[in-house]
Chains A and B, each alone.
Chain A
Amino acid sequence: MAVIEANNNNFEKVVLKHTGKVLVDFNAEWCGPCKMLKPSLEAVAAHSSDAKIVSVNIDDAEELAEQYNVASIPCLVLFENGKEVKRSVGLIPKDAIEDMIGGEN
């Protein structure tokens, strides 16, 4: 699966109403570490059947960043059945992303 773009309009449908796991990547165009993280997320998305991976550009979705208390990016938030279950701030390697999705909550 490819990484899905989400914003204020479709966040509810794409993330909150989704049954199962969704990993949301809060990022921005000007954020270097976010750009470094992107290839890892794309690789995980391509191989993972465990979770849907969603990208939110915080400059296009300020309300979402505020609502989810994002105060530093990259910020990965794992939702399960619409509820936040895990969070990771900062650049992490691909293995750590897989652990985040795959591990027991």
Chain B
Amino acid sequence: MYDIIIVGAGPAGLTSAIYARRASKKVLVLEAKNYGGQIINTLDIENYPVEAHISGFDFATKLYEQAKGLGAEIVFEKVVDIKDNGFTKEVVTDKNTYSCQALILATGSENRKLGLSNEEDLIGKGVSYCATCDGAFYRKKKVAVVGGGNTALEDALYLADIAEKVYLIHRRDSFRGEDATVNLLKEKSNVEFVYNSNVTELIAGDRLEKIQVTNNDGSVREIEVNGVFVAVGRIPENQNFAKLIKLDQAGYIIAGEDCNTNVPGIFVAGDNRVKEVKQLVTATADGAVAATAAVKYINNR
């Protein structure tokens, strides 16, 4: 029996572990993939207080070692279900079942996919969800970026300096992302805007060769590209909690800044919570708030 179980070893989950261990609670962190979460894909973090530059990998590794050093147990198993037995909570993984007094859900989010049939098979063969990770493979090649938010705009800007040609494909006629970035993109001679359009087919042999783009007016166009970078948002990883925990329409756990869910003793921290600003610093802040709330919940029983 643990005092606190934390689901997810990203910045929010590991920060929760640090706070919970410093309050002398017995802590287990369960992680399905790798520690660090999505921050490990970031080459250079420039907006986290104190360090002007740190790689996502170094940040994640230091945080992981800090949590471990304080005595948190970190186990790599995928959580498939959670149960509320009143006084205790039960956490079911693909290998074991654990119980605890308080539970913190810090699962974060994953990339939203286009939803095309051969998309998964083409990952690493022309389909990418991370421009800064894979952009270097498209030097002097043709690429498309799909999306209309800041990530899509920044990806297009980054790729414009590497690739020969960048098509920016967006389903609406204006961007949700910042105007300043849109203006920078308009100055790039190799960026072509494809508005009111969706990617409807990925045409490939061994690797991606063309994309089919359908305009909202019904007209269809094929564009030759070597790569397509998908930046159509993220999906919170809350599917396995939906029976018990209240989610909003987009799948985020409904909780205020206090990180309380609808179930007493279950808290949420990080990108899988409804919130305006999803940044590293707000994820770690959630971690501190959720752990403090969990400790208080246990101590007041």
A-side interface residues toward B, CB under 8 Å?
A: 28, 30-33, 35-36, 58, 65, 69-73, 75, 87, 89-91, 93
CB–CB A89/B123 < 8 A: yes
Query: In chain B between 45 and 86, which residues have their CB closer than 8 angstroms to a CB of chain A?
Result: 55-57, 60, 76
CB–CB A72/B56 < 8 A: no
Q: What residues on A are CB-neighbors of B207 within 8 Å?
A: 69, 71
Interface of A is mostly: loop
A87 to B226, CA, bound (A): 20
- Determine if B99 is an interface residue (Cβ-Cβ < 8 Å): no
CB–CB A73/B133 < 8 A: yes
CB–CB A93/B76 < 8 A: yes
B130 — nearest CB in chain A belongs to which residue? Answer: A72
State which of B36, B56, B124, B137 has its C-beta within 8 Å of the C-beta of A90: B124
- Determine if B40 is an interface residue (Cβ-Cβ < 8 Å): yes
Q: What residues on B are CB-neighbors of A58 within 8 Å?
A: 136
CB–CB B133/A72 < 8 A: yes
State which of A32, A65, A71 has its C-beta within 8 Å of the C-beta of B57: A32
Q: What residues on A are CB-neighbors of B36 within 8 Å?
A: 32, 36
CB–CB B125/A71 < 8 A: yes
Given contacts A32-B55, A71-B125, contact A91 B134 (CB under 8 A): no
Most buried by B among A71, A73, A75: A71
A87 — nearest CB in chain B belongs to which residue? Answer: B124
State which of B33, B136, B206 has its C-beta within 8 Å of the C-beta of A91: B33
- Determine if B227 is an interface residue (Cβ-Cβ < 8 Å): yes
CB–CB A35/B124 < 8 A: no
Q: What residues on A are CB-neighbors of B124 within 8 Å?
A: 70-72, 75, 87, 89-90
